[in-house]
């Protein structure tokens, strides 16, 4: 019987690539896809899903998912394809333990990691960038647990791969976009989820790299909102009262709706807002012309890819062929946004 390994060797590609082509999953270059399909056809390859499922169940694959999703609508679109994939992978005996938290509490995240450590073979996590969390993730890797960071990465971590966007590029994109649509003399306030999230800091860095070279630019303040709309509302209101000459806002992560409500309450429709993610509340504010543009980071692709990478490793024995699976940062305006 012809095996995936033999097809991979003949085509000069990885087993993971062959598996993705034959199971129509993931992105593979068209020329490689065609080569694999033609080779499989010539060799009369016949899949054996029943045998594969039986072998997978013997491995008893269990995945932990820990995401700070509570109160953050963006993660609804990350988790939906993850849950759909998890249902499909149940046929191979793969179980998923779902955990969530609100905000960026290091103690809570460490506690949940400890809880999952003795039960899982793999962990998908959007981690807080703190030494205690990094130490625990490195310990999981040392114990043979497969670790995937999603939507946010961390420094000096031996995680197996990261699935998400390029945060530095996202910040640069936001800065360049603001230069294009804001009036000259940008006086920008910034709201970010938390300084403890590496991605949030990188977006701020990229944003400032672009705008600090711009004549007349002033940074009116950087406030943490814990990805909470109520806090975002209060922080924005405070910023506008302390700096009435603010004419632009950049929302680095979640909390755009709260910030937009504060802008409306202050009757400051002169303010240009650039945010991330096209969740329903953001689209409503775009239709009301409070938010001018959003940067889309493909949440569904992030969720789907993270679960696929884990499945490929636990069930098929394929290690990731990349250390980082990066989604594109795409600019969305009212005319091209979808609810």
What is the tens place of the pLDDT at every residue in 9-52?
888 998 888 888 887 776 788 888 889 888 888 888 876 654 45
3-state SS, 166-184, equals CHHHHHHHHHHHHHHHCCC
Q: Which of 161, 168, 248 is nearest to 201 (CA)?
A: 168
Q: Is the pLDDT of residue 237 over 90?
A: yes
pLDDT for the residue 136: 97
Q: Which of 106, 96, 109 is nearest to 67 (CA)?
A: 109
Rounded to 10 deg, the angle between the 256-265 and 280-287 helix axes is: 30
CATH number for the domain running over 167-296: 3.40.50.2300
For 4-47, CATH number out of 3.20.20.70, 1.10.260.40, 3.30.70.270, 2.60.40.10 equals 1.10.260.40
Q: What is the mean pLDDT of residues 134-146?
A: 97
d(CA 17, CA 218) in angstroms, rounded, equals 49
Do the first three CATH levels of 4-47 and 167-296 match, i.e. the same topology? no
Q: Is the pLDDT of residue 205 over 80?
A: yes
- Using alpha carbons, list the distances in angstroms from residue 326 to 13, 137, 245: 21, 21, 37
Domain ranges of the chain: 4-47, 61-165+299-327, 167-296
d(CA 292, CA 178) in angstroms, rounded, equals 10
Question: Looking at 33-37, 151-155, 202-206, which range is the least confident one?
Answer: 33-37
Q: Is the pLDDT of residue 78 over 90?
A: yes
Q: Is the pLDDT of residue 338 over 90?
A: no
d(CA 160, CA 322) in angstroms, rounded, equals 9
Distance of CA 112 to the CA centre of its chain: 20
CATH number for the domain running over 61-165+299-327: 3.40.50.2300
Question: Within 13 Å and on the Cβ side, how many CA atoms surround 217?
Answer: 18
CA angle 59, 28, 13 (to 5 degrees): 70
């Amino acid at each position: 019987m012809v095996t995936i390994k033999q097809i991979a060797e003949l085509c000069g590609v990885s087993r993971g690539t062959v598996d993705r082509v034959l199971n129509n999953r993931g992105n593979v270059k068209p020329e490689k896809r065609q080569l694999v399909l033609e080779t499989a056809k010539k060799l009369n390859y016949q899949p054996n899903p029943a045998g594969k499922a039986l072998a997978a169940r013997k491995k008893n694959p269990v995945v932990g998912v820990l995401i700070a999703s509570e109160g953050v609508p963006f993660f609804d679109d990350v988790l939906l394809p993850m849950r759909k994939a998890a249902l499909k992978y149940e046929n191979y005996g793969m179980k998923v333990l779902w955990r969530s938290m609100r905000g960026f509490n290091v103690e809570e995240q460490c506690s949940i990691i400890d809880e999952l450590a003795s039960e899982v073979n793999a962990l998908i996590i959007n981690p807080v960038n703190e030494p205690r969390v990094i130490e625990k993730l490195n310990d999981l890797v040392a114990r043979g647990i497969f670790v995937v960071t999603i939507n946010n990465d961390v420094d000096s971590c031996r995680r197996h791969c990261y699935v998400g966007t390029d945060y530095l590029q996202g910040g640069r994109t936001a800065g360049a976009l603001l230069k294009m649509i804001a009036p000259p003399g940008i006086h920008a306030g910034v709201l970010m989820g938390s300084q403890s999230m590496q991605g949030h800091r990188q977006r701020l860095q990229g944003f400032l790299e672009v705008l600090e070279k711009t004549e007349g630019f002033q940074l009116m303040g950087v406030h943490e909102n814990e990805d909470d709309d109520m806090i975002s509302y209060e922080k924005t209101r405070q910023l506008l009262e302390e700096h009435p000459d603010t004419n632009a806002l950049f929302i680095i992560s979640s909390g755009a709706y709260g910030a937009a409500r504060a802008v409306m309450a202050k009757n400051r429709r002169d303010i240009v807002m650039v945010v991330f993610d096209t969740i329903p509340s953001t689209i409503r504010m775009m239709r009301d012309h409070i938010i001018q543009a959003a940067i889309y980071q493909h949440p569904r692709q992030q969720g789907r890819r993270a679960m696929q990478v884990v499945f490929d490793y636990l069930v098929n024995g394929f290690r990731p062929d990349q250390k980082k699976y990066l989604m594109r940062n795409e600019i969305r305006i009212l005319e091209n946004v979808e609810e």
